[in-house]
Every structure is written in structure tokens, then in C-alpha cells.
Amino acid sequence: MPVQIEGSQAVARAVAACRPGVICAYPISPQTHIVEGLSALVKSGELPGCEFVNVESEFAAMSTAIGASAVGARAYTATASQGLLFMVEAVYNASGLGLPIVMTVANRAIGAPINIWNDHSDTMSQRDSGWLQLYAETNQEAADLHVQAFRIAEQISLPVMVCMDGFILTHAMEVVEVPTPEQVARFLPPFHPRQVVDPDDPVSIGAMVGPEAFTEVRYLAHHRQMEALEVIPRVADEFREVFGRDSGGLVRPYRCDDAETVVIALGSVLGTLKDVVDERRARGERIGVLGITSFRPFPRDQVRDVLWNASRFISLEKAFSVGIGGIVSSQVRASLIGHPITNSTVVAGLGGRPITKASLHAMLDRSARDELEYLEFLDLDRALVQREIARTRVGTRSGPAAENMLRDLGAVRSTPH
């Protein structure tokens, strides 16, 4: 039954429907509402047999999930931004040990300067962590992806991050069909771990591996992600059969069939992009959008197929690799080796800056005139940057850059709450 519900609450109920054995919780905005929702469900007795552990840090949250998963319990946690970075050592450990933990990341910028709003810097920093990464476009998809994530994780014995845009999705009230426990029971089998710490069959897990086998162990991690490229669409198909709606999968092309220009993006900005594309299509422009749901594993074949007849792609990215530029675009180019195609990276929405239709139209107008550079920053206030650069050229003690620029603006545009 469709209900009007906050994104975080929808995710909490979807996770609860998957009957996790252990939930590890540590607060960080904008993820907190999810674990609050789960806390209430456990406390009220709606999740019998589920252990809700209030840990002392994100590092402990992931470590507790590792312990729970290792003894064979279905384990879940959620985090964002600094919290994800604080647990990084355990994030890599969970995937290295092959433990099928599911974690929500409510995507948020990384400081300094500290910023609580949305971009993808946090999860993009973990693209090489060995976790699968699925990006939700809507709250419906966010809820659905969690159900699929447990299924995928447990099938291939690797952990899965479900990435949903902080505030934009987590705090948005939308109509969502929340997966029910009855539906999930028909879709998600009980967790049968490939390996388990068990006194009845004692094994050693997490031993030291030297040069003689380390390459092979790491190769296997890659191999399993490549297998996931087949598992993810199959799971999405089965999901459709049980739940009657499309969610998940590898890529989500929109009006790409005859497109000359394809804009590529991840997450909630796809909605705005589709509106913009509809408006430009109405004017006769051959343009489409390619949403990438599975960023890890990266669906090279599917991306190549969508882009094969296009002459240009623009990668709209909510994060970038400082010192070179686009992250998603480099992976897309790797999918198109030998195929000539013009491309640009447009970095947008950093630290919660709104990505408006007006700005996207202006950017696409310039693209249509062939004026787009290889790397651009949408709505960059060049004058503000130039003033700070000028300050650093005069004298050696120009002061803290972020605070200087806020002073130049005359007012803080937004305040933390």
C-alpha cells in the first residue's frame, strides 16, 4: 500500500522487513533518522530476535557488524560522510573477509570545511573498498534497493552499500510502497553464510596471507564483483516478479535510443535531469540520460551499449578527484576504449548546492554550441575564487580560505541546524 513517508523511515521499514539479526547504530546526519526508526521498531517488539547495538563510533559500528556477520547473523548499519571515513579500515576488512553486510550511506560532503549537505564525496572515496555500491534515484528505489542488497550480498558473499542522497532523499516525504515482511519473505531466503565462526566446525578466519597468495585472493574479490554484474539484473528481475515494480539493476537509460548527447549521473539528480531532457526533447534536441545504479561493480558493457551511437557524453558528478577531475567519467571512458566520443565532466551539487533546471539548461546550451570544457564546475562563483587567489598572492599570511570567502560573500548563505 503506498504511504506518504519520509525516505529514512521507508528505508528503516524496508530493512526491518529483511529481518536483520544485528543492527549497529551510531548517529550522524543525515543518516540518523534511519537508525532511529529501526531503534523504535526493535524497542517496540516489532522485530523479535533482532539485536540493536548502540555503539561508540562508526569504526565500532562496522566492526560489530563484522562480528555479527561472521557468526552467521544478518547484519546492517548506516552512516554518512565523516562516519564512513572513520570506519574505513573496517569497511575494507568487511569486504576482504567476504562478509555480506548491508550498509546505507546517506551521501554527504566530506570536510574540511565541515558541511552536512549532500554530495557523493563520501561513497566515491570508497569505490575501491571492495563493496558493491548501488545508488538510489528515488525513495521508492532506496527502500527497494535495501531488500535487493541483502539478496545480492548474501548470494555472492560480499558487502553492499546502498547510497541515497542525504537530505534530498533521506528527509524528503514521498509516496512509497514500503516492502512488507510478507513480500520480502517470498524474495529473500534465510541467510546461509559461506563461512561462519562456529564452535561445531572451528576454522580460522582472517589469517595472514603473504605474497604467495595475496594476488589470487584479491583477484577473487574482483571476480566476484564481475559475477555480481550478472546477479544484480537477475535479482532486479525477480524483484519485479514479487513486488511488481522496477527497481535496481545496473543502468537506467532514459530516452537514449537516438540520442546524440547523453548525460550520465547517479542518484536523485536523475529526476531533475529527466525533466530537463524532456523539455529539450520537446524542442527537438536528441538528448538522453543514463542513470548508473550499480557503480560497483561498474557495468562497462551496458554503459558502452547505451553510448555506442552517441557522439557526446556529459558526466554530471557530485564528487571529483582533486588534481584530475571526473571519477565517473573516467570509468565511462574506460568502457568506450577505441570508440571516439566527445566528453566533459561537470562537477555539480557539491556540499548541497542546488542543481537547478536553469543551470542545467545553460550548461547544455553551451554543450550544444560546443563550448563545454573538459572539466567544469556548475555555477562556480569565479569572482569569489579569484579574490581568494589574489589574497594568497599578496603576502604569506592570507588566513583561512573558507572563512575569507564567507566574509567576501557578506553573509553565510545557509546555517547548520
Partner 1 sequence: MADEQTTLPPDDPVRFYQVGSFAVGNRLQPLDLRTVQAAQDRPNALTCGHRACQGCGEALGARYALDAAVRATDGRLVSVNATGCLEVFSTPFPETSWRIAWLHSLFGNAPAVATGMAAGLRALGKSDVRVVAQGGDGGTVDIGFGCLSGMFERNDDVLYICYDNEAYMNTGVQRSGATPPAARTQTTQAVGPEPGNVFGQGKDVPRIAMAHEIPYVATATVADLHDLEGKVNTAMGIRGARYLHILVPCPLGWGSASKDTIAVARAATQCGLFPVFEARDGEVVASTPIRRLTPVDDYLRMQKRFAHLFAPARRDDVIDRLQAMADRNIRRYGLLEEAAR
Strands 75-79 and 294-296 turn out to be unpaired
Place of cell 583561512: 400
Of 54 and 414, which CB lies nearer to partner 1 in the complex structure? 54
Residue 6 grid coordinates: 519520509
Q: Is the dihedral of CA 91, 92, 95, 97 positive or negative?
A: negative
Strand, coil or helix: 329 = helix
Q: For residues 70 and 194, what is the distance between their CA atoms, to the nearest angstrom?
A: 10
> What residues contact residue 348 under an 8 Å CB cut-off, 6+ apart?
269, 316, 317, 318, 355, 359, 377, 378, 379
CB of 89: closest distance to partner 1 in angstroms?
6
Of 70 and 372, which CB lies nearer to partner 1 in the complex structure? 70
CB of 208: closest distance to partner 1 in angstroms?
6
DSSP conformational letter for 352: G
Of 173 and 205, which CB lies nearer to partner 1 in the complex structure? 205
CB of 417: closest distance to partner 1 in angstroms?
28
Binding residues (CB under 8 A) for partner 1: these are 21-22, 24, 49-51, 53-57, 59-60, 63-73, 75, 89-90, 93, 97, 197-199, 201-210, 213
Strands 2-6 and 294-296 turn out to be unpaired
Contact status, residue 80 vs residue 34, Cβ threshold 8 Å: no
Of 208 and 412, which CB lies nearer to partner 1 in the complex structure? 208
Of 65 and 105, which CB lies nearer to partner 1 in the complex structure? 65
Of 22 and 162, which CB lies nearer to partner 1 in the complex structure? 22
Please give the C-alpha separations between residue 237 and each of 106, 140, 328, 340, in angstroms, as whole numbers: 26, 16, 26, 33
CB of 147: closest distance to partner 1 in angstroms?
19
Residue 258 grid coordinates: 537516438
Place of cell 534497493: 145
Of 62 and 328, which CB lies nearer to partner 1 in the complex structure? 62
Strands 173-177 and 2-6 turn out to be antiparallel
Of 181 and 271, which CB lies nearer to partner 1 in the complex structure? 181
The CA dihedral of 335, 337, 343, 348, to the nearest 10 degrees, is 30
Place of cell 564567507: 406
Please give the C-alpha separations between residue 262 and each of 258, 302, 306, 310, 350, in angstroms, as whole numbers: 10, 14, 9, 7, 22
CB of 181: closest distance to partner 1 in angstroms?
16
> Among residues 36, 34, 92, 101, which one has the least CA distance to residue 67?
101
Of 98 and 352, which CB lies nearer to partner 1 in the complex structure? 98
Of 93 and 398, which CB lies nearer to partner 1 in the complex structure? 93
CB of 268: closest distance to partner 1 in angstroms?
32
Q: For residues 142 and 104, what is the distance between their CA atoms, to the nearest angstrom?
A: 9
